[in-house]
Amino acid sequence: MNDDIYSVIDQQQEKAAGGGTAAAEAGSAERPYSKEEYAAKKKAEREEVYARIDKVTEHISEDPVAFKDYLDVMARFPRYSVANTLLIFEQLPEATRVGDFDSWKRRGESVRQGEKAICILEPGDEYTRDDGTIGVSYNVRKVFDERQTSSRHLEPRHPDMRQLLFALIDKSPVNIKTIDGLPEAQGYAHYSHEGKTISVAKGLDGVQLFKALAVELAQAAIAEHDEHYADSPDRETARLAAYVLAGRYGVDNSGLMPVLAVRTRDETEVSPIVREELSRIRDAAKAISERMDKTLDVERGQDAESKARQGNRGDRDAR
């Protein structure tokens, strides 16, 4: 099945906030806030959201099932920050597509009355810190999942395995080469940081090949941005990124789920360290998926153009 895939590998070696219950909030009869009251209200909202982030971070670091479920949410929201993915997971883990009240309205959909909003964060204004550096303030944004609206939920349609494999290896940032076999300890594929090369065993089926390459490409993505990269300690992070990547495209991701590796350097609070690790997982998966999506978009465009040409030929034949 994958002979042509291996052939290609061989050839490549060289804002609106919306509102909590939408219409109900919009029609509330509360008196207008003063500037100071409004600022205090927004600050309280932010502090509540930050507390939720800390709480759910601690939860997923202690509960392997919750951690897996969190990564499944990350797979559905690949471009969202770790903080916002944590917030979506904590409030509505089955969410698939979110938008604020006005964005759903622009799509011709409406938020069902009585639905509770999901609170996430969005960047606000820049400000100057006491040390002169520039910071960004964050505001609470209230969004709703498609299941809370009149929108019809459609299960995602993923490209077939052959398309996914081509997208995975297309324009790879490191050299990929096929070999007859690898030492047992290296499994089906192995990334060499020194040689910037991935060696992959021949004869794998589609799912095996996708997962093997995804792990090693995640290793390469981590190494690119981490001057302290080390093969063995970072392998678990790479496997988790591959788990997210496979889930993103509907590929069986079983067998890729090690335990979250928290690097404790000192007596620092655990939550920021966990979120740093989650960011490394997200960034590695995102780097690969963005490259894949570009390839898949081009292929979809070519398919659409081909179908249009075939349709035009059919019209001419009919005439």
Whether residue 27 is predicted with pLDDT greater than 80 in this model: the reply is no
pLDDT of 212 reads 96
pLDDT digits 0-9 by tens, 69-103 = 999 999 999 999 999 999 999 999 999 999 999 99
Above 80 in pLDDT, residue 299? Answer: yes
Contact of 285 with 78, CB cutoff 8 Å:
yes
Least confident range of 83-97, 254-268, 276-290? 254-268
pTM, rounded to two decimals: 0.82
Q: Residue range 126-139: average pLDDT?
A: 88
Does the pLDDT value for residue 292 go beyond 90? yes
Range with lowest mean pLDDT among 12-21, 206-215, 266-275: 12-21
Which pLDDT score, from 0 to 100, does residue 314 have?
43
Q: Which residue has the higher pLDDT, 71 or 315?
A: 71
> Please, what is the average pLDDT of the chain?
85
Q: Could you report the per-residue pLDDT of 167-191, keeping only the tens digit for each?
A: 999 999 999 999 998 888 888 999 9
**Taking a C-beta distance cutoff of 8 angstroms, is the pair 274, 61 a contact?**
yes
Instruction: List the chain domain ranges.
Output: 23-148, 156-300
Distances from the Cα of 135 to the Cαs of 42, 130, 154, 256, 279, in angstroms? Answer: 18, 10, 39, 37, 19
Q: Residue 225 above 90 pLDDT?
A: no
CA distance 153 to 118: 18
Residue 16: pLDDT band (50, 70, 90) is very low
172: exposed, middle or buried (Cβ count in 10 Å: 0-12, 13-18, 19+): middle
| Res 114: pLDDT | 94
Minimum mean pLDDT among 79-88, 191-200, 264-273, 306-315: which range? 306-315
End-to-end Cα spacing for the chain:
41
Mean pLDDT of 147-163: 92
Q: What is the pLDDT of residue 298?
A: 93
Lowest model confidence (mean pLDDT) among 1-15, 66-80, 124-138, 269-283:
1-15
